[in-house]
Structure 1
Amino acid sequence: MIAFAVIASIQKKQIKILLGLSVLLFAILFVKSAAVGRTLQSLNKINPFYSDTVTIITEENKTRIGGSDSMAIRRVVWQGALELGKKYPFFGTGVETSSEADFLYNKAHNEYLNFLATTGFLGLFAYLFLIFSSLRVLYSNLPKRFSAELSAEKLSANPSLLDRHASLAMTDLRSPLILGFISILITNYFGFSVVNVALFFFLFPAIFLSHLGTNKIISKKINLNQSLGILLVLGTALWLFLGVRRMWLADLAYTGGRSNLSKDLLAVKLNPKEPLYLAQLGNIQAMVATQIIDPQIKEMTASTSADLREKANSYLTQYTKDALENVNKAVSMNKFNLNLLKTKARTELTLASLDPKYNLEAIQTMLKLTELSPTEASNYYNIGILYTSIDKNDEAKLAFQKAIELKPDYQAAKDRLNLLK
């Protein structure tokens, strides 16, 4: 509100109000000097370039009760974004999807650092150029041609010009649009631009430009056979519709396939390029092999025919092979997706009841998880349990100790570690 009052008083040349606001501001600084000092000191947290993240987190932990300060968390991801900007200075890590695929970066909760990390300095400068250009448009005076249009000769020839410019003067939206645009720039410093905010980011300058009445409609006639054009549009629309429908049906099948093999197979058939579907299919196939086929083989008696026994064993081998192939294929399609690696480890643990060698493969998968997510204590806890199951107690102790180091109140890890002592 103070900023709005200052801008309004400057625009309207109300010197008395401006002086009054200045006196009020200095009075607040004088009376609340201690509070202002603390506020200025806390600004260290919002400076991603000159403040020390480690120091901020260390100081915050001394007085923290419950969850962490959101600004301390932001400082961690801001530092990560800056490091990525230094590592990939020209074009960044890739626009959003590329960053997710390589597990390098997610969101910095700072739109400017987000552009730096994902598009490099080239993208950041382009974004800043767009901002300054928009501000220049919003702050610019009305075009000089408006005053020329209001000359006596043109006004007598076209009286509607007076109404148009009177309407323009009566409905000056410049101040609220400027303040709204600046508020977006401020909120984007502490977060990323969601759909609503991004829409207003472009709408505010567009509203101002349309308000000036300087728009030109440019049309061009395209000589194209009408029937051919209709067929092209309908064909493209039908192709897109069928593609979306196929993906929707695949997603429905995937959701229902969490306990249904046939639906999982349908999901993969409809969308074979989705690694999540392949990973779930592999996990379900492993459960079919261990919970359905293997128990039936064990229940076979000596009187069971050799052909039936051989057929059952071939089914078991095939399902085991397919399960491993599907989870490995899913991971190969996205090597840095934690959920896919967790599904792969879960599948290998399921198959370990058939062959203990899969325990070792599950451990290797879990170790890969710790490389990608080194601060997740549960990964080390699960590794410790796996090492315990194959009687590697020394390695299990190290894993449990690491889990406790990352999460000092991890009671389950403490209990497991005490059992090994």
Structure 2
Amino acid sequence: PYFLTSLFFTVLVFTGSRSGLLGFCLAEIVFWGAIFLKSRFTHIRKFFVFNILILAIAGVFGTQYTPSIFKIIDSKKVDQVTAAPQATGTALETGGTESTTIRKIVWQGALEIWEKYPIFGTGVETFAYSYYSSRPIAHNLTTEWDFIYNKAHNEYLNFMANSGTVGILAYLAMIGFSIYLIVKNSLRKNDNDQAETWPTMSIAFIAGYVSILATNFFGFSVVPVQIIFYLYPAFSVVLAGTDSKDEKEPSPNSNQKILNWIVASGAAVIVFFICRYWYADYLYATGSNYNKVNRQDLAVNYIFDAAKLEPNQSIYYGELARTYTNLALAYNEARQATAASQLTEAAIENSVKAVNLSPANVNMKRIEFGVFVMLSAIDPNYLLNARDVLLVAIKQAPTDAKLFYNLGLIYSRIGENDLALQTLKKTVDLKSNYKEARLAYAILLIDAEKKPEAKNELEYILTNIDPTDSLSKQYLESIR
């Protein structure tokens, strides 16, 4: 047990999981606290051995909250020679935004979703879509500002956002019943050979279960954790034993045989659909990989077949639209107008179908926007379609700075410079450290003969975002 404890804790340390470490600490407190209440100090030696091993590992490798002994020694040596240099780079260069800060922002968004849809939530596994509508502006100032968040990084808030009050109450009721089941079975008198060890095992189950509850508070439940979440109560029931006599089971009658065949047939059908789903995903992945190496001629058939097998998957049509778009551009460049026109229509048709299949998915609109922007090389009027797509997307994601930035660029390209200036100003208000947006805004200010304002924007970039940006320096020199 000492070797396994050391091994598992070392693995935990190297995962870098703060929620996992907090869950472990809580499990330690519950387990040893209950052990001492049950048997006083009978296991005091084991307590010290286990925890000395844990402290030694934490001291050697360090944890998410404490540095290793070697880092402490090295830092003292450095302090004796010279003071540590202050970080001068951007947030990305110096390690990014603290995960705790990001969690608080995402939690705030999850609570806002629950407030909007308090009874049943937005639907199971819809956080990736619904978060955009309640995404706090503060998220734009983190290093993960353009990441897709499909979970609330808190299992309980995730249930509140996706399933509402009904869902979270059901989830908490299940947790309460599971704890009751474990405790109840720990108090049972069983007549098996584990009668003496069972109470200790029951305490271990309770401690382990509590650690999962704590981990889920600071993160979200992945598949292995979710399996253990349901297995703990089952383990407690099985290991508690039951008072049963050996009785010969009767042979199944005709009704039971028929029921068995029905269940087996249903299972076979489910397996068939799972295999079909897997194969469609394989085709999609193969086609996507061909797209990444600019082999759209090979990619198109794979993705088309994937969409044919699973016609309700919007992402397949989105990828197919991008594939047709690239082929249309290639044929247009080769001066094959008929083929280019047919592929253009196919690209637009599939991008629209992707959006219609998943209207709440902002990322499908990003794909549709990209399709129209690329097709504008064939017909500039498609920029108007791109503008319209962004206007709809912004209604769904009112704090997404990248959408506003792209809309500002589109306004500029179609000659609506006043709207472009207003939109880019809104963009830098949403994300003050958005270098590309602020630079584009400065350039448009220069074109509008508003040089003092443009100077302020360029100086802001060089002072607060990127002191080495050559373009900002170049434009700043041109207006001095």
- Give the deviation of 1:221 after TM superposition: 1.9
Residues 1:89 and 2:89 are matched in the alignment: no
The equivalent residue for 1:337 is 361
Asked if 1:177 is matched to 2:205, the reply is yes
Partners of 1:254 and 1:277 within 8 A in 2: no
Is 1:352 aligned to 2:376, yes or no? yes
Structure 1 moving runs of 4+ over 4 Å: 98-105, 141-146, 215-220, 225-235
Alignment of 1:179-258 (within 5 A): 179-214=207-242, 221-223=252-254, 224=257, 232=265, 236=269, 239-240=272-273, 243-244=276-277, 246-256=279-289, 258=291
Deviation at 1:328, TM superposition (A): 0.9
Structure-2 residue corresponding to 1:121? 165
Does 2:395 correspond to 1:371? yes
Cα deviations by residue, 1:332-361 (Å, 9 ceiling, x for unpaired): 111232332122112111222332221111
* 1:150-187 Cα distance to aligned partner (Å, 9 max, x none): xxxxxxxxxxx5xx3x5321343122111111111111
Aligned match of 1:130: 174
Match of 2:441 among 413, 417, 420: 417
Taking the TM superposition and a 5 Å limit, the aligned residue runs for 1:272-291 are 272-291=311-330
Q: Count matched residues.
A: 341
Residue 196 of structure 2 aligns to a residue whose secondary structure is helix
1:43 aligned residue: none
Q: Unmatched 5+ residue regions in structure 1? A: 18-63, 147-160, 298-311
Rate the CA distance shift 1:169–1:232 in 2: closer, same or farther, 3 A: same
C-alpha distance in 1, partners of 2:305/2:184? 59
The whole-number CA distance in structure 1 between the counterparts of 2:329 and 2:202 is: 70
SS, match of residue 243 in structure 1: helix
Q: Distance in 2 between matches of 1:248 and 1:215?
A: 49
Q: Does 1:293 align with 2:322?
A: no
CA distance in 2, matches of 1:337, 1:230: 36
SS class of match (1:92): coil
Moved more, 255-264 or 391-400: 255-264
1:116, CA displacement in angstroms?
2.0
Residue 356 and residue 133 in structure 1: after superposition, are their counterparts in 2 closer, same or farther (change >3 A)?
same
- Cα gap change, 1:368/1:204 in structure 2, threshold over 3 Å: closer, same or farther? same
Q: 1:9 aligns with which of 18, 21, 36?
A: 36
Deviation track 1:81-127 (CA, whole Å, cap 9, x = no partner) reads 3333333333222221x555666684222222222222222222222
What SS does structure 2 have at the residue aligned with 1:140?
helix
Q: Do the aligned partners of 2:303 and 2:320 also contact (CA within 8 Å) in 1? A: yes
Distance (Å, rounded) in 2 between the aligned partners of 1:14 and 1:213: 28
2:306 paired residue number: 267
Which of 47, 69, 72 is matched with 2:101 structurally? 72
Deviation at 1:234, TM superposition (A): 9.4
Answer yes or no: is 1:167 the counterpart of 2:194. Answer: yes
Q: CA deviation at 1:228?
A: 7.2
- Measure, in 1, the Cα distance between the counterparts of 2:289 and 2:411: 34
8 Å contact kept, 2:372–2:382: yes
Residue 187 and residue 252 in structure 1: after superposition, are their counterparts in 2 closer, same or farther (change >3 A)? closer
Counterpart of 1:77, as a letter, is V
Please give the alpha-carbon distance, in whole angstroms, between the structure 2 residues aligned to 1:141 and 1:286: 62
Letter in 1 for 2:283: A
Preserved CA contact (<8 Å) 1:250 1:270: no
Equivalent pairs: percent with the same residue?
31
Amino acid aligned to 2:107: W
Deviation at 1:80, TM superposition (A): 2.7
SS of the aligned residue for 1:221 comes to coil
Structure 1 position 380 matched with structure 2 position 413: no
Structure 2 unaligned regions, length at least 5: 1-27, 45-90, 135-149, 447-480
How far is the alpha carbon of 1:10 from its aligned partner?
1.6
The 8 Å contact of residues 185 and 236 in structure 2, kept in 1 or not, is answered as no
Q: How many angstroms apart in 2 are the aligned matches of 1:230 and 1:410?
A: 57
- Is the contact made by 2:153 and 2:220 (CA closer than 8 Å) also made in structure 1? yes
TM-score, reference length from structure 2: 0.62
Cα 1:344/1:174, change in 2 over 3 Å: same
Instruction: Describe the shift of the 1:236–1:335 C-alpha distance in structure 2 as closer, same or farther (beyond 3 A).
Output: closer
Contact 2:121 2:164 in 1 (8 A): yes
CA deviations 1:210-263 (Å, max 9, x no partner) are: 111117698872523799779947964774476246424532453255222344
Amino acid at match of 1:370: I
Give, in whole Å, the separation in 1 of the partners of 2:264 and 2:171: 40
Identify if the C-alpha distance between structure 1 residues 287 and 248 changes in structure 2 by more than 3 Å, giving closer, same or farther.
Answer: closer
C-alpha spacing 1:390/1:219, structure 2 compared with 1 (3 Å): farther
The residue type equivalent to 1:9 in the other structure is F
